[in-house]
Amino acid sequence: MNKALLKKLLSLSILGGLFFTGCEEDDEGFNNGELVGQWEITYYYANRTRVVANPAGVSADTDYRFYFKWKDGDAFAAAAGVPAATVHAGSDVELFKVQDGDNILGYPQTLEYSTTSTPSLAQLGVAITLTLSDAPSKGQPADYLISGTYPSYVFDEDACNTAVSIAPITDAGLYTPNLDANGVEKLGNLIIEPDPTKGGNVLPPFADGSFSVTAAGASDGRDESKIDYVDRNGHDERYKEVKSSWSEEDDRVIQGYGYAFTNDAGDLLASGAPYGNTAQPATSEGYVNINLLAKSAGQSTDVGTIWGGYQTWYFFNVMAAFKAQVFDIKAPLTDLDGDGSIGVGDMVAFMHADNLAGGGGKTAFGLPYTLLVDSSNPQLPVPVNDSTRDLDLSNLAAGGKMKYKVMGLCVPTNEIVTVKSKWSRIEE
């Protein structure tokens, strides 16, 4: 991915659309009226959609999966003479999967911040100044200048991850009030034209924004301007509404899921929406929290806590045996624990019964049921917790926690951002 695309993605910030200027009709000799002057941001609303959009040539049924991969899966498969795909199909932990036309995880996303919200614009690190010059004559474009800091979506191509970072912005271009794209008078309409020759080329163009200015309309008695618009720069069909050409390399918005975070215990936590982690990435590998596994297996989260809250070798074998037994034609698993459903608890009961009968049952990966379930009390089977140690492939019978790697995911999307903003005049 070239630097131009990275620059484009940097501009698609949470507050990126804030920085578009507006104007007013003639007033007291100014061609652009009361809009001329300096303004500071006081309110921001954005509804952002990101939908999976396959580029030309990519099959419509392509899956985009974000998952954790068992670090030792390939080595185990080679040693056991088992296809690696078979091992990973059972051991890998899929967080989500999307296809063409699906909403990206965490989207649509609506954000709304102001000077008094929690968090406020200041707490987010946002401080934007908008300077609007007057037009040389009525109906002609005039200069705008934006400077300050804002939270931006930053795409890391190497890690294939989208994260939020505070970034500075200095941008300049042209704005035209009260005319439509055809040059016909239309009060309250706003046209933005980025102009690279003036020092900026990161703001999206639009010819159908709206604006208004209210004297003493802000809560502090200052003049208030409102600017609304729709950003269609990153949509491979709707770009035609704002510009003449589309570059797959430069204009496509990529959503990345690549980082993971670990807590003090070394547990992997997925990054980004909707998980809500804000720390810096600590590692790309760690242990998988059992809640993810229990949910993906359709079980209650209480089931996995038996194994210390982790994906362990014993738990993995119990789950593999459970899945196999459910589909066993001769002796399919039934509701042995009487809870009204068929789950992992029933597999534990099945193993317990086999242990008591001396059946010598084993999982598909060769672990005896007697290792996985303590049947010393005939009335109370106890799954063996092997989470106190790490798994060692040279001693599989001892079990242990399995370590996972984060598999980065880059998803091509179509993005639309609907923005509303308010600004207060900076008194001179």
Q: Give the mean pLDDT per block of 10 residues along the chain (428 residues).
A: 37 37 44 93 93 94 90 93 88 87 88 92 92 93 91 76 78 93 94 80 84 92 95 95 92 83 68 40 69 46 68 90 88 83 85 95 93 94 92 95 88 95 91
* Amino acid of residue 51: V
Question: So what's the pLDDT on residue 170?
Answer: 85
- The pTM assigned to this predicted structure is 0.74
Tokens of 7: 């620059």
- Of 70, 97, 102, which Cα lies nearest the Cα of 86? 70
167-179: b or e for each residue (b if 16 or more CB lie within 10 Å)? bebebbbbbbbbb
Question: So what's the pLDDT on residue 14?
Answer: 32
Question: So what's the pLDDT on residue 259?
Answer: 64
Question: So what's the pLDDT on residue 267?
Answer: 75
- Of 104, 205, 124, which Cα lies nearest the Cα of 164? 124
Question: So what's the pLDDT on residue 405?
Answer: 87
Half-sphere exposure of 12 (CA within 13 A, CB side): 30
Question: So what's the pLDDT on residue 153?
Answer: 76
Burial, 130: exposed, middle or buried (Cβ in 10 Å; 0-12, 13-18, 19+)? buried
Question: So what's the pLDDT on residue 12?
Answer: 35
